[in-house]
Structure 1
């Protein structure tokens, strides 16, 4: 299992991008629209084939059903809300309500694990999973930004169970788990403006 990207959710894409760019000191690049879920995004290439996206509901698009990433119920300031991994065996990780949804955006094609109600697996404590059908996903094709992920910490009441379920699959030393009463994701990045924590 490979960490693919992290997602910042926002009430509007403009607010989310402004919030992230102020912290990182770099510009996010054009992403696109996800017609299936009525969302749009902007992207930032990170070191080691990772990337960061800002995602929000697209006010000009409708969605037949619930939007993914919990965006139908998202309120408040922008924040790190989701972590997305690509497992070797995609179907084996269709857990915590996820079902396979075929996705496309421009030339990109991928399968995504999305609960029917649009929620995040275990409230965001368990990774959303995907499988790319391209040799050049965004993490490999985005222009470098000079930013790098240092650590990702998943705080969750069931952090121990999540860690055990991913043991032997996710071996990225940057990913850490903490038992906590509430679900919270935090990440530390190296940026042109120094160390930034989201």
Structure 2
């Protein structure tokens, strides 16, 4: 079984992402940090309601970091996505939390799907070191035409442990288009099945209920 860990919002810059978050959602994201492994950085917000251990991540390429020497996660190096986020931040991925990333990885491989290799990543925070393993393919893309959630396994501390409650609540999550054997293997908790391929979420915000749809190239 897996569950919603966080939603990934790709931005052209974090300045752009924060401005969008304040204008469209009526909330200011909290602090984040840098990812030396991928030369990216982020800002975070905890999500409440039925998903108390989930969060909202604004992520962008870190202009002050050296090239990572590999393709970045979440498709951030794709020219089409880079062009899209210059216009506005985009919901690009659902990250699913598991305690058995290696077992799930092999289960997916045995069903003909490559979720990527679990990479060890970490970043410093005022509350201590965050450490995790995350499945990332060499091309930085997600299987099943981008629909497969990214698998993550936290090592000890979770980011939401030190996050204050925000005014942003995740009301619902739906995902369509995953092949039935893959969906049955993942058993995503509290995620509805949708007829239309793609990820969609409903957020309760100070601006009211706001839907977000997954950006997909083509």
TM-score (normalizing by structure 2): 0.80
The one-character-per-residue Cα deviations of 1:105-160 (angstroms, maximum 9, x if unpaired) are: 111000000001111233431110011002x31133211102211122334xxx15
Residue 53 of structure 1 corresponds to which residue in structure 2? 57
Cα distance change on mapping 1:122 and 1:14 into 2, 3 Å: farther
Using the alignment, how far apart are the partners of 1:166 and 1:191 within structure 2? 29
**C-alpha distance in structure 1 between counterparts of 2:3 and 2:47, whole Å:** 14
Shift in CA distance, 17/122, structure 1 to aligned 2, threshold 3 Å: farther
Aligned length: 190
| TM-score, normalising length: structure 1 | 0.88
Mind listing any 5+ residue stretches in structure 2 that lack a counterpart? 109-113, 213-218
Mapping of 1:95-106 within 5 angstroms? 95=108, 96-106=114-124
Find the counterpart in structure 2 of residue 65 from structure 1: 70
- Paired position in structure 1 for 2:168: 147
Cα deviation, residue 193, structure 1: 2.0
Report deviation, 1:168: 6.3
- Runs (4+) off by over 4 Å: none
Query: For residues 57-106 of structure 1, what are the alpha-carbon distances to aligned partners after superposition, in whole Å with 9 as ceiling and x for unaligned?
Result: 11111211111110001221211100001123211222424101000011
1:188 matched residue in structure 2: 202
Q: CA RMSD in A?
A: 1.8
Partners in 1 of 2:141 and 2:185 — Cα distance?
26
